[in-house]
């Protein structure tokens, strides 16, 4: 019986060969000592190699599929097929910026056109990291978008507009908060004094279009006025800002927060998305719609 290391070497040597060929070898692991643990790791690693993504992007959905595999409802090939969530067309680069650890996203496809979501870069080191990545990948920034107007998500708006000559898009309902960014920032010790006026106000009637990508805008106030989510139906992910988290929801004790409105928007606008949609929050790890339906205590 092939051991775990031999499986790994076989996967690497096969490179981009068909998934089913890989699992002809690793399926044998299921029946060995600790076989389930080993095949769990091998499958995840293979998905990472094939999709050029990270463990965090496959963990949630994989764990659900693994339960069905153990119940003999699906086989390994079906796991691999279902795990290919079609994000291989695009790259989602995540930076964790400022001391509140905002998920700043740079998302692009093979056209090299890109969008920056929630630039939270707050110091020269973070500015440099963002700039270095965009220059290294030779990206053209088509727009900068804010999921909502809270200070930790907008700190880098000025730097990004100046550096990439791209329009800033946000929802008009968030402007009363956004216009107080300097005051809010100083409360948290941030020193930014420039917060550029948005170039365009977006609503649910609009779309974010770049490269070959098209996002739907979903208005989701409750955490803050002006909160929006960006839904990519083709690639099956939704960027939710601070509306929804793994096992949690956004705070509603901040200005313009409204608990009932937040829960209503999550239930009626997010939980109605396909269950395998990847949820990318404004902080911490990704999750999925089905995971939050089944496990989120607030829902």
143 and 14 share one domain: no
Written as tens digits, the pLDDT of the chain (299 aa) is 344 444 444 444 444 444 444 444 444 444 444 444 445 555 555 555 545 455 455 555 555 555 555 555 544 444 444 443 344 478 999 999 999 999 999 999 989 999 999 999 999 999 999 999 999 999 999 999 999 999 999 999 999 999 999 999 999 999 999 999 999 888 888 988 999 999 999 999 999 999 999 999 999 999 999 999 999 998 899 999 999 999 999 999 999 999 999 999 999 999 999 998 999 999 998 999 999 999 999 99
* Domain encompassing residue 165: 90-295
51 and 174 share one domain: no
Burial class (CB in 10 A: 0-12, 13-18, 19+), 140: middle
145 and 244 share one domain: yes
| pTM, rounded to two decimals | 0.72
Q: How many CA atoms lie within 13 A of 245 on its CB side?
A: 13
121 and 242 share one domain: yes
Instruction: Count how many domains the chain has.
Output: 2
Q: Which residues, at least 6 apart from 32, have a Cβ–Cβ distance to it below 8 Å?
A: 1, 38
- Residue 269 token pair: 């606008």
Other residues' Cβ atoms within 10 Å of the Cβ of residue 125: 10
194 and 48 share one domain: no
CATH of the domain at 99: 3.60.15.10
The sign of the CA dihedral 136, 137, 140, 141 is: negative
One-character DSSP codes across 243-265:
SEETTEE---SSTT--HHHHHHH
């Amino acid at each position: 019986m092939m051991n775990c290391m031999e499986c790994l070497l076989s996967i690497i040597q096969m490179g981009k060969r068909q998934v089913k060929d890989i699992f002809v070898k690793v399926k044998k692991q299921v029946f060995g000592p600790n076989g389930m643990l080993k095949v769990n790791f091998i499958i995840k690693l293979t998905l990472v190699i094939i999709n050029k993504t990270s463990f965090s992007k496959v963990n949630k959905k994989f764990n659900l599929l693994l339960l069905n595999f153990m119940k003999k409802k699906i086989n390994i090939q079906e796991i691999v097929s279902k795990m290919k969530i079609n994000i291989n067309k695009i790259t989602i680069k995540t930076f964790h910026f400022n001391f509140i650890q905002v998920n700043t996203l740079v998302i692009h496809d093979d056209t090299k056109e890109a969008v920056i979501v929630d630039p939270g870069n707050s110091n020269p080191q973070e500015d440099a990291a963002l700039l270095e990545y965009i220059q290294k990948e030779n990206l053209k920034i088509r727009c900068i978008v804010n999921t909502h107007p809270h200070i930790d998500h907008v700190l880098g708006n000025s730097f990004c507009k100046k550096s990439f000559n791209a329009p800033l898009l946000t929802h008009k309902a968030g402007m009363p908060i956004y216009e107080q960014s300097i005051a809010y920032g100083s409360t948290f010790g941030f020193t930014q004094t420039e917060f550029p006026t948005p170039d365009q106000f977006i609503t649910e009637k609009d779309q974010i279009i770049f490269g070959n990508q098209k996002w739907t805008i979903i208005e989701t106030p409750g955490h803050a006025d002006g909160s929006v989510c960006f839904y990519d139906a083709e690639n099956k992910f939704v960027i939710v800002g601070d509306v929804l988290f793994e096992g949690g929801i956004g705070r509603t004790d901040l200005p313009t927060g409204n608990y009932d409105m937040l829960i209503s928007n999550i239930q009626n606008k997010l939980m109605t998305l396909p269950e395998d949609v990847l949820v990318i929050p404004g902080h911490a790890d990704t999750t999925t719609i089905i995971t939050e339906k089944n496990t989120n205590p607030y829902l």
